[in-house]
């Protein structure tokens, strides 16, 4: 297990020499309890440098992104069983598939990597942006000597409920309250009747 961890750390540090690290910030994303798509969209924004006023689409000004706790990322709905990753080996009839649940068990870092890379534009800067993305399944990483900045996820804007749905919810709540009161009233009457009979 220790050798596997060391090999992962070596792989994580590989390719840093190709990146010009001057002036780059090291942003740390904690994926624990985060929803996959929302996290990936924030990472894609930072990797492209769109959060900076100096952003230009032909320059790679994005920051280094370190994603921790990839194994604890969440998805909504039934995506664990319904979302399927496909790839083809090149041989006839060799279309392979793997569900999100199986991919999380095999390599959870690849789930976040694919989500982020598929949000990036397909151009010459894509490989450099991919090198700036470092994903780890747990909270251990080899970049402790760097000036790390934890990234704070923006608050989620929940849309106000539509009037018709709100009215339906209020009706359901009133109905539930009436049922509880009527159920409480019945037991009280039965209790009084039993006392009178006794």
Q: What is the mean pLDDT of residues 168-189?
A: 82
Token duo for residue 93: 């009839």
Q: How far is CA 151 from the centre of its chain?
A: 14
Residue 33 has pLDDT above 50, yes or no: yes
Q: What is the mean pLDDT of residues 146-171?
A: 84
Lowest-confidence region among 62-71, 101-110, 156-165:
156-165
Of residues 94, 76, 78, 96, the one with CA closest to residue 86? 96
Query: pLDDT confidence of 195, banded at 50, 70, 90?
Result: very low
- Rounded to 10 degrees, the C-alpha dihedral 34/40/41/42 comes to 70
Model pTM score = 0.74
By the 8 A CB rule, do 64 and 27 touch?
yes
Residue 40 has pLDDT above 80, yes or no: yes
Residue 44 has pLDDT above 60, yes or no: yes
Sign of CA dihedral 56, 53, 36, 141: positive
């Amino acid at each position: 297990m220790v050798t596997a961890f060391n090999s992962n750390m070596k792989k994580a540090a590989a390719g840093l020499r190709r990146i010009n690290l001057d002036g780059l910030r090291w942003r740390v994303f904690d994926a624990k309890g985060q929803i996959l798509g929302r996290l990936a969209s924030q990472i894609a924004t930072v990797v492209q440098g769109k959060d900076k006023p100096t952003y230009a689409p032909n320059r790679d000004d994005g920051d280094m992104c370190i994603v921790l706790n990839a194994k604890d990322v969440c998805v909504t709905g039934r995506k664990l069983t319904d979302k399927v990753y496909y790839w083809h080996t090149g041989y006839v009839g060799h279309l392979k598939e793997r569900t999100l649940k199986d991919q999380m068990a095999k390599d959870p870092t690849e789930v976040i990597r694919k989500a982020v890379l598929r949000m990036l534009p397909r151009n010459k800067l894509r490989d450099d942006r991919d090198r700036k993305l470092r994903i780890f399944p747990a909270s251990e990483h080899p970049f402790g000597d760097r000036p790390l900045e934890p990234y704070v996820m923006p608050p989620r804007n929940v849309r106000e409920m539509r009037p018709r749905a709100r009215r339906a919810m209020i009706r359901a709540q009133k109905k539930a309250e009436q049922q509880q009161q009527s159920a409480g009233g019945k037991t009280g009457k039965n209790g009084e009747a039993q006392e009178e009979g006794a």
